[in-house]
Amino acid sequence: MTRHDPIQSCDSCPIRANAVCADCAPDEIAVLDRAKTYRTVPAGGRLAEAGEPLTYFSSIVSGCATMSRTLEDGRRQTVGLLLPSDYIGRPGRSTSAYDVEAVSEVTLCRFECATFERLLRETPHLATRLLTMTLDELDAARDWAVVLGRMTARERVAAFLVSLARRQARLSHQAEPTRAIALALPLSREAIADHLGLTIETTSRQFTALRKAGAIETPSTRLVQIPDFERLALEAGEDDDGGMIA
C-alpha cells in the first residue's frame, strides 16, 4: 500500500473521476470542496453500526471497508465490500442499516447529512451521479444474490476473486483486467468467508483447490496471482464472453 499525502482539494482527489462527485461541473465541485471534510480511520475502526445514528454521508477515498450484519447467534454476512469511490450512508435516513468497518486504514471524504441533502437538491449532477451509483450497487447486490443462492463453494471463491480483479482494474481506469493479474486481498480469510456465506475452513479449502487446479497461485495469504483471468472466470460459472447467462 502506497502512502498518500493528505489531500487538500478536490482537484487532486484520487476518486474525483468515479465518486459521487464525478459528474459535477467545476462550479459544483467548488461548492463541494468547501463543504467536505476528511477523516482517517485506522484498520479495524468502526465507520457505522447497525441501528445506530449515522450523521455523515461519506465516500471512501482510500482503503477498504466491509458492510455487514451480524445475527444474534453470531452468524455474520457481509453485504458489501467498500472500495475507493464507494459511499457510506443514505440520504433521508439518519441511522445505518449495517455495520461498516474499516479493514485497512480508511480515509473518508464526508459531508454532514443535512448539508449533503441540501447539496443533493442544489447540485443536479450530484443527484444523477448518486442515482447511477445506487443503481450500479443494486445490480451488484443482485448479482451477488445469484452467487450466494446458487453457487458452490468453489464457484463463490472464484467469483469473489474475479469481482475483486474487475474492481481493481476499474480503479486503475482499465475496462477489463489483463490476462494475468496480481491481486492484493484486502480481506482476511474469515472476512472473505463472511462475504461468501461460507465458513473459514471451506473458504480455505477452496483456495487450495483452485491453486491445485492451476487457476490461481498464492505466494502469500494476502496475495493471489491469476495467470489467466478468463480461466478463473470460467471457474466462477461465467461463460466464455463474460455473461453468466445461458
Partner DNA sequence: CGCTTATTTGAAACAAATCAATGATTGTGG
Partner DNA sequence: CCACAATCATTGATTTGTTTCAAATAAGCG
**Interacting residues with DNA (CB under 7 A):** 152-154, 188-190, 197-205, 207-208, 218, 220-222
Distances from the Cα of 49 to the Cαs of 116, 152, 227, in angstroms?
A: 20, 31, 39
22 scored as a contact of a second copy (CB under 8 A): no
Q: How far is the CB of 174 from a second copy (least distance, A)?
A: 21
H-helix or E-strand spanning residue 40? strand 37-41
Residues 6+ apart with CB under 8 A from 187: 64, 66, 81, 103, 195
Residue 137 or 176: the one with the smaller Cβ distance to a second copy is: 137
Instruction: Using DSSP bridges, classify how beta strands 56-62 and 106-112 pair: parallel, antiparallel or unpaired.
Output: antiparallel
State whether the Cα torsion 149-44-90-129 is positive or negative. negative
Task: Determine the Cα–Cα distance for residues 86 and 125; give it in Å rounded to an integer.
Answer: 17
Cell numbers found for residue 98: 449495517
90 scored as a contact of a second copy (CB under 8 A): yes
- Piece of the chain touching a second copy by CB under 8 A; list 3-11, 31-39, 122-130, 166-174: 122-130
Contacted entry of DNA, a second copy, none for residue 199, CB cut-off 5 to 8 Å set by kind:
DNA
Q: What does the DSSP 8-state code read for residue 95?
A: B
- Of residues 57, 87, 144, 207, which one binds a second copy by CB under 8 A? 144
**CA-based nearest residue to 86, from 36, 50, 136:** 136
Q: How far is the CB of 53 from DNA (least distance, A)?
A: 28
Residue 127 or 153: the one with the smaller Cβ distance to DNA is: 153
Contacts with a second copy in 62-81 (CB under 8 A)? 67, 69-72, 74-77, 79-80
Instruction: Using DSSP bridges, classify how beta strands 181-184 and 223-226 pair: parallel, antiparallel or unpaired.
Output: antiparallel
**CA-based nearest residue to 232, from 61, 40, 224:** 224
| Phi/psi of residue 89, nearest 5 degrees | 115, 165
Contacted entry of DNA, a second copy, none for residue 202, CB cut-off 5 to 8 Å set by kind:
DNA
Contacted entry of DNA, a second copy, none for residue 205, CB cut-off 5 to 8 Å set by kind:
DNA
Residue 13 or 24: the one with the smaller Cβ distance to a second copy is: 24
* Binding residues vs a second copy (CB under 8 A): 50-51, 67, 69-72, 74-77, 79-80, 90-92, 97-98, 127-128, 130-132, 134-135, 137-139, 141-146, 148-150, 196-197, 237, 239, 243-246
